[in-house]
């Protein structure tokens, strides 16, 4: 049987635990960002009155201008 020092085992377990937390954190942040961007793609902004409304075949519900087809940018 292979003899391993206890400190090495503790260090490895701690490292794996922290790595797992980091991966889970990055994964959930990535999924949230992807969901938010997908939601923003369904919105458009009126070029005349700057009202945000759901993208569709119609025109702006406030001023009646035709929809530009441009997605809303958050940056
Ligand atoms: Zn408008």
Per-residue model confidence as pLDDT tens for the chain (75 residues): 778 889 999 999 999 999 999 999 999 999 999 999 998 888 888 888 989 888 888 888 999 888 766 666 655
pTM of the model: 0.55
CA of 34 to the centre of ligand 1 (A): 28
Helices of type H across the chain: 6-41
As a whole number of angstroms, the distance between CA 64 and CA 43 comes to 16
CA of 41 to the centre of ligand 1 (A): 18
| Whether the Cβ atoms of residue 53 and residue 44 lie closer than 8 Å to each other | yes
CA of 33 to the centre of ligand 1 (A): 28
């Amino acid at each position: 049987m292979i003899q391993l020092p206890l400190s090495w085992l503790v260090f490895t377990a701690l490292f794996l635990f922290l790595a797992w937390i980091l991966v889970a954190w990055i994964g959930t942040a990535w999924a949230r960002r992807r969901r938010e961007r997908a939601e923003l793609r369904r919105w458009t902004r009126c070029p005349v009155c700057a009202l945000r409304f759901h993208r569709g075949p119609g025109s702006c519900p406030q001023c009646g201008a035709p929809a530009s087809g441009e997605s809303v940018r958050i940056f």
